[in-house]
């Protein structure tokens, strides 16, 4: 099991809230600039993976559900795809916590890619016969999901390191 650091809970919550505000701004900026669909990566997934070492499993699950609902609300469809993905991420993190070092960047990138694969599966289920600009599902997967997967792995290297450093550097509690 991941042993949370003995640090100020209020300070960790403050840092998580600041990270949520910054990531929400980045998501808004991606939509405002009207980037293509495949470039709109899931930034909140990185926050879920990056906070695993400082949150207790129940708090981590609560954060995953709240952020999943928030992300689903931002997408305009409350189908629970993000909630399911984030809960799967929390489950994978805490089930493998005894065998793996959660703070290692390669493990975090692999875990993020697994979660993006789960999200892509949800998107394919939704996308079957629902996109008129793509004649078939295979073209949709090749032109949207494969580049999105690659960009998410690249983003994982950049964002996970920054989030882990930001969230993990909380001041120690006084005894």
Q: Is residue 80 part of a domain?
A: yes
Which string of b and e fits 104-141 if b means at least 16 CB within 10 Å? eeebbbebbeebbebbbeebeeebeeeeeeeeeeeebb
Q: Is residue 27 part of a domain?
A: yes
**In total, how many domains does the chain have?**
1
Q: Is residue 147 part of a domain?
A: yes
For 135, which DSSP code? S
Model-level pTM?
A: 0.78
Q: Which residues contact 105 (CB under 8 A, 6 or more apart)?
A: 157, 160, 161, 164
Full residue range of the structural domain in which residue 119 is found: 9-168
Q: Is residue 173 part of a domain?
A: no
Q: Is residue 4 part of a domain?
A: no
pLDDT at 163: 84
Q: Is residue 43 part of a domain?
A: yes
Kindly report the CA angle at 47 between 91 and 146, in degrees rounded to 5? Answer: 80
Rg (CA), the chain: 17
Q: Is residue 106 part of a domain?
A: yes
pLDDT in tens, 109-156: 888 888 888 888 877 777 665 655 566 767 777 777 888 888 888 888
Q: Is residue 124 part of a domain?
A: yes
Average pLDDT, the chain: 80
pLDDT at 63: 93
């Amino acid at each position: 099991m991941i042993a949370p650091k003995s640090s100020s809970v209020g300070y960790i919550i403050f840092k998580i809230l600041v990270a949520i505000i910054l990531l929400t701004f980045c998501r808004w900026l991606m939509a405002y600039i009207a980037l293509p669909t495949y470039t709109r990566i899931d930034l909140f997934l990185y926050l879920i993976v990056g906070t695993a070492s400082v949150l207790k499993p129940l708090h981590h699950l609560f954060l995953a559900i709240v952020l999943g609902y928030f992300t689903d609300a931002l997408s305009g469809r409350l189908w629970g795809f993000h909630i399911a993905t984030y809960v799967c991420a929390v489950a994978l993190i805490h089930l493998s916590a005894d065998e793996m070092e959660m703070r290692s960047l390669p493990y975090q990138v692999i875990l993020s890619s697994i979660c993006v694969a789960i999200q892509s599966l949800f998107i394919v289920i939704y996308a079957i016969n629902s996109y008129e600009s793509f004649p078939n599902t295979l073209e949709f997967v090749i032109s949207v999901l494969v580049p999105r997967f690659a960009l998410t792995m690249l983003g994982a290297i950049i964002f996970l390191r920054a989030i882990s450093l930001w969230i993990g550097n909380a001041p120690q509690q006084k005894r």
